[in-house]
Structures are given as C-alpha cells and as structure tokens.
Amino acid sequence: MKVLLVFIAILGVQKSVNGFSPIRSEQSKLDTGLRVINGGNTDTTRIINGQLAADRQFPFQLFVLIRSNAPLSLIFNVLGSCGGSIIHTNWALTAAHCIEPPSGPTDIRTYQLLAGSVNRGNARQSITVPSRHAFRHNGYNRDTLENDIGLFKVNLPLGFGFTFSDYIAPIELSNMTEAELVGKLLVVSGFGTTTNDRSGPASNQLYYTSLTAISKQDCLTAWRPTILPSTSFCVEDKTSTNLATKKASCAGDSGGPITYTFENGTKVQVGLVSFGSSLCNQYPDGYTLISLFLGWILEIQAANPISLLPIII
Ligand SMILES: *[C@@H]1O[C@H](CO)[C@@H](O)[C@H](O)[C@H]1NC(C)=O
Ligand SMILES: *[C@@H]1O[C@H](CO)[C@@H](O)[C@H](O)[C@H]1NC(C)=O
C-alpha cells in the first residue's frame, strides 16, 4: 500500500486507489502532534534506524507545521507536519501533498517553517507562511502522486526571508536524471516518526540515513501491482533485508530533502520525500525527482516576485 509520508494527514476523505492509501487525519494523532511540539515527549522516534544529525550538518533542513484555525476561532490547530528545504533566501521546497488549499473562507491556513536547529524546539528562525504564499504544483494528482512538489514563498515584511548563517543555508538543486542517480548513495534527513508502523509521534530531533537509488524497474518489481508516479525515483536500504534494522523514511519526513555529495564535497538536493509503504521500510521509498522541476521552480519564482513593502502577512 502506497502512503504519503506526511506525519498527520491533512487531506479529505479516505480512499484507496490501486492499493494507494494516503494517511488521513485522526483527532488522536493531532493531539499527539501538539504534545510533541510542546516538548512533553522524550522518546527517540526518527527516520527508521537512522542517526542523530549534528548541528549545522543539514542547515537547509526545515520542519514544517501545517496549521489551520477552526472556523470562527483564532486558535490555530496543528493539522500535520512535514519536512522541507531552503533553496533561496525567499524560497523553500516541500511536497505538494503537504500543501492543501483552505477548505473555505473561514479556514485560515498557515505553514510554520522552523529552521536552524536539529532540535525543533530550538529553531533559530520560525517563519509563518500564509496559504497564498504556498504553491502546489498544478499537475499534482493525489491519486497517482504525479508532480508531488510545492514551494513556499518566504516574504517577510521589507522582503526579508531566511537569515543565512552556519545554521541556516540554502541547498543547491541538482539536475541529475534518474539514470544518473541509480546506484548512488544518497542521504535523507527528517523529523519523521521511527516506528515502521508509523504510529509513533514525529521526532523532536533531526535524524538522517543513507539509502541507495534504485532503478524504476526494480522499484516496480517490489511495488507491483501498484503503479508508481513517473515524476518519482526510488531509494532503498541495500545494507539490510531485516525489517528490524532496515532504514527508511517514514511519516513526517514528507517534503524533506534527499541529497547527493560529490567527491569534491559539494552537496546537492536530488529529490524530496513523497511516498512509502504503510509499513515504512517494507518497500522502497518514493522521492520526487528534482531535476524534472527546475523549470517549474523558476516559473513560479518569476511569476511571484518578492514584495519589498512593509506589509503584514
Ligand atoms: C547538469 O548541469 C551541468 C552543469 O550545469 C551540465 O554540465 C550538465 O550537462 C547538466 N546535465 C543535464 C542532464 O542536464
Ligand atoms: C564539484 O563537482 C561537481 C560535479 O562534478 C561540480 O558540478 C561542482 O561544480 C564542483 N564544485 C566545486 C566547488 O568544485
């Protein structure tokens, strides 16, 4: 079963098409999310079987809280959490399925981007992005998961965005094709859950792990008869076949970066977390292939210039 890796689902009705079943929201999970955010949870949930990230190791990593106010209320509830990556002073990448248009005029939707720390309680920058500055790819299809990519415009008053330092910095996007990626060792990072049955809370700490890109053919063999999106590529932990130790991304990692490091040390983002199996490490993970969307990113940026006005957003 192909599931989205958003921590708590934000989308409408339960459905299952071709064995694909996005995670849906449950009130109890919303409560869990809030508890963790308030720091009450001390467990070590993480990317499954991954390692704890060091400060400044992933300065481009974002933790994204999806918030909505209840109709006619000023209290913003957390609907879910995702990952993201900083690609520019004023722009961040995430998955399309982490962005959902408001359900109506009373549904005020915001995205809180937390940057600059491996402990999400200690973010060096916290930026609230309104719904109108969250751009979901027009070709996103929630049944097939084609074009699972979105952008946040980070337009603070006077045009300010992320404040770069050793702790907060952009990641370069890669034009590597799927064929170029196959066989390469990649690194994924995220604040997602670690229990492979996805029942645990999102992690307070940033974790990462190495996974190998595999061919679409090998991925389809594992997933058959489920049809995989053409805009994705797959990765897998080649070092283990044991579900107790096999590494994978899991719920809450959605939208976060997977990177490749060249021999000269240059690190580039090649994909973002899109989908996985309902038991997170059972089948290869699916990632949106960044190189297919470099033109789309430039188009969205050009069509939505940064405002230099002292507006309140
Ligand atoms: C990717 O970019 C590099 C450097 O800009 C270029 O040399 C290469 O041809 C590009 N590859 C593809 C597949 O577009
Ligand atoms: C590192 O290597 C990559 C791939 O060959 C190249 O695109 C990049 O420009 C190099 N970076 C530096 C700083 O030399």
Per-residue pLDDT tens for 37-87?
212 222 223 365 667 888 999 999 999 999 887 666 667 788 888 999 999
Model confidence at 268, pLDDT cuts 50, 70, 90, reads: very high
Point out the ligand 2 atom lying closest to the alpha carbon of residue 264.
1
More confident residue, 226 or 128: 128
Q: Model pTM?
A: 0.83
* Nearest CA owner, ligand 1 atom 12: 175
Ligand 2 midpoint to CA 262 (Å): 7
Q: What are the structure tokens assigned to 252, written together? A: 């809450």
Structure confidence at residue 18 (pLDDT): 28
- For the stretch 30-46, what's the b/e string if a residue is b when 16 or more beta carbons lie within 10 angstroms of its beta carbon? bebbeebbeeebeeebb
Tokens 């999400």 appear where? 120
Per cent of the chain over pLDDT 90 is 50
* Strand positions, DSSP E, the chain: 2-4, 51-52, 61-69, 76-88, 91-94, 109-115, 125-130, 134-136, 150-153, 172-173, 185-190, 207-214, 232-236, 257-261, 267-277, 285-289
The reply to whether ligand 2 has any atom less than 6 angstroms from the CB of 242 is no
* Nearest CA owner, ligand 1 atom 4: 175
36 pLDDT more than 90: no
SS3 string, 131-142, reads HHHEEECCCCCC
Ligand 1 midpoint to CA 178 (Å): 13
Structure confidence at residue 69 (pLDDT): 76
More confident residue, 34 or 61: 61
Give the residue from 39, 204, 197 showing the smallest Cα distance to 119. Answer: 204
Ligand 2 midpoint to CA 94 (Å): 25
6-to-24, 195, 246, 252 alpha-carbon distances in Å = 9, 14, 20, 5
Closest ligand by atom to 260 CA: 2
- pLDDT, mean of residues 192-211: 71
Distance, in Å, from the CA atom of 289 to the CA atom of 104, rounded to the nearest integer, reads 32
Write the pLDDT tens digit of every residue in 105-159.
778 889 999 999 998 889 999 999 999 999 999 999 988 999 999 999 999 988 8
202-to-6, 37, 82, 136, 170 alpha-carbon distances in Å = 10, 9, 9, 23, 24
The reply to whether ligand 2 has any atom less than 6 angstroms from the CB of 262 is yes
Distance, in Å, from the CA atom of 91 to the CA atom of 299, rounded to the nearest integer, reads 13
The answer for residues whose C-beta is within 8 angstroms of residue 313's C-beta and 6 or more apart is 128, 129, 130, 133, 155, 156, 157
The reply to whether ligand 1 has any atom less than 6 angstroms from the CB of 175 is yes
250 pLDDT more than 90: no
The reply to whether ligand 2 has any atom less than 6 angstroms from the CB of 266 is yes
- Mean residue pLDDT of the chain comes to 80
The answer for residues whose C-beta is within 8 angstroms of residue 285's C-beta and 6 or more apart is 5, 188, 211, 234, 235, 236, 248, 249, 273, 275, 276
* Nearest CA owner, ligand 1 atom 6: 175
14 pLDDT more than 80: no
